[in-house]
Chains A and B, each alone.
Chain A
Amino acid sequence: MNAPDRHPRELWNVTDDPRYIGTSVSRPGAQRLVEGRGTYVDDIQLPRMAHVVYWRSPVAHCRITRIGRDAANAMPGVLAIVDGSEVATVCKPWVATLGHLAGMKSAPQHPLAIERACWQGEPVVAVVAETRAQAEDAIQLLEVEWEDLPVVADMETALDPSTPLIHPELGDNRCFTRSLDTGGVDEAFASAHVVAEATFHFGRHTGVTLEPRCQIADWHAGDRRLTVYHSQQAPHMMQDLYARQFDLPESSVRVICKDVGGSFGIKVHAYPDDFATVALSILLKRPIKFVADRLESFTSDIHAREHRVKGRIAASKDGDILAFEIDDLTGIGPYSMFPRTSAIEGNQVVNLTGGPYKHKQYRAKLDVVFMNKTPTCQYRGVGHPIACAVTEGLVDLAAAKLGMDPLAFRKQNVIPDSAYPCVGASGIKLEVLSHEECLRKIETLMDYDALRTEQAALRKRGIHRGIGFATLIELTNPGAAFYGVGGARIAAQDGATMRLEPSGAVTVLVSVGEQGQGSEGIFAQIAADAVGVDMRKVRVATGDTDVTPYGGGTWASRGAGIGGEAVLQAGLALQQNIVRVAAVILNRAAEEITVRRDAIVEVASGAELMTLAEVGRIAYFRPDTLPPGFTPELMVTRHYAQKDYPFIFTNGVQASYVEVDTDTGFVKLLRHWAVEDCGRVINPMLVDEQIRGAIVQGIGGALYEECLYDETGQLLNGSMADYLVPMSGEMPDIEVAHVQTPTASSQLGAKGAGEAGTAGAPGAVMNAINDALRPLDAAVWSQPFTPEKILRALGKVD
Chain B
Amino acid sequence: MTEVLAAPPSDHARAIRVIVNGRPLQRVVMPRTHLVDFLREDLGLTGSHLGCEHGVCGACTVRLDGEVVRGCLVLAVQADGARVETVEGLTDGGTMRDLQDAFVARNALQCGYCTPGMLMAAAELLEQRPDATREEVRQWISGNYCRCTGYQAIVDAICATLDIRRGKRPAAVAAPFPERDDALHDDDREPSGQADLDAVGG
Contact = CB atoms under 8 A, between A and B. Distances in A.
Q: Do chains A and B touch in the complex (CB under 8 A)?
A: yes
Contact of A693 (B56, B86, B150, B155): B150
A210 interface: yes
A259 interface: yes
B105 A8 contact: no
Contact of A725 (B147, B181, B194, B202): B147
A25 B176 CA distance: 7
A720 B145 CA distance: 10
A757 to B, nearest CB: 8
Contacts of B80: none
B77 interface: no
A702 to B, nearest CB: 14
Interface in B44-63: 46-54, 56-57, 59
B141 to A, nearest CB: 5
B38 interface: no
A686 interface: yes
Contacts of B139: 728-729
Most buried by A among B4, B112, B181, B196: B112
A435 to B, nearest CB: 14
Nearest to B7: A76
Interface string A262-296: 11100000000000000000000000000001100
Interface string A34-64: 1111111011000000000000000000000
Contacts of B144: 727-728
Contact of B142 (A75, A697, A721, A727): A727
A385 interface: no
A37 B189 CA distance: 24
Interface in A691-710: 692-697
A30 B109 CA distance: 7
Given A19-B180, A34-B100, A735 B53 contact: no
A426 interface: no
Contact of B104 (A1, A34, A515): A34
A23 B86 CA distance: 33
Interface string A191-233: 0000000000000000111111000000000000000000000
A263 B148 CA distance: 9
Nearest to B197: A4
Given A26-B177, A30-B112, A739-B202, A210 B32 contact: no
B147 A210 contact: yes
Contact of B3 (A74, A262, A294, A729): A74
Interface in A441-458: 441, 444-445
Given A36-B87, A294-B51, A729-B138, A535 B177 contact: yes
A735 B195 contact: yes
Given A36-B88, A262-B147, A720-B57, A26 B105 contact: yes
Interface stretch (B113-121, B124-132, B161-169): B113-121
- Interface-central residue, B59, B109, B119, B194, by most chain A CB under 10 Å: B109
A210 B48 CA distance: 13
A729 B109 CA distance: 18
Interface in B96-114: 100, 103-107, 109-114
Given A27-B107, A692-B152, A33 B112 contact: yes
Interface in B160-187: 176-181, 184, 186
A737 B107 contact: no
Given A74-B5, A261-B49, A26 B119 contact: no
Given A210-B146, A729-B139, A3 B189 contact: yes
Contact of B197 (A20, A294, A735): A735
A437 interface: yes
A31 interface: yes
Contacts of B138: 728-729, 731
A719 interface: yes
Which of A19, A207, A733 gathers the greatest number of chain B CB atoms within 10 Å?
A733
Contacts of B52: 294, 719-720
Contacts of A261: 49, 111-113
Contacts of B51: 210-212, 294, 720
Give the interface centre of B56, B144, B177 by most chain A CB atoms within 10 Å: B177
A733 B152 contact: yes
A137 B30 CA distance: 14
A71 interface: yes
Contacts of B186: 1, 5
Of B3, B46, B156, most buried by chain A (CB within 10 Å of CB) is B46
A516 interface: yes
Given A76-B8, A693-B147, A33 B198 contact: no
A516 B146 CA distance: 12
B114 A43 contact: no
B18 interface: no
A33 B110 CA distance: 9
A26 B180 contact: no
A688 to B, nearest CB: 8
Contacts of A8: 198, 200-202
Interface in A734-789: 734-739
Nearest to A294: B52
Interface in A617-652: none
A75 B201 CA distance: 69
A2 interface: yes
B42 to A, nearest CB: 12
B114 A210 contact: yes
B35 interface: no
B152 A731 contact: yes
B145 A2 contact: no
A4 B107 contact: no
A727 B113 contact: no
Contacts of A441: 200, 202
A133 B2 CA distance: 21
A25 B195 contact: no
A207 B148 CA distance: 11
Given A40-B49, A43-B46, A74-B3, A28 B176 contact: yes
A130 interface: no
Contacts of A240: none
B153 interface: yes
10 contacts: A2-B152, A6-B180, A26-B177, A33-B111, A34-B109, A42-B50, A294-B51, A294-B53, A515-B111, A697-B150
Given A40-B46, A264-B147, 7 more contacts: A4-B198, A8-B202, A19-B180, A34-B112, A36-B119, A43-B40, A444-B201
- The list of the 4 closest CB pairs from A to B, nearest first, reads A36-B47, A33-B112, A516-B111, A261-B113
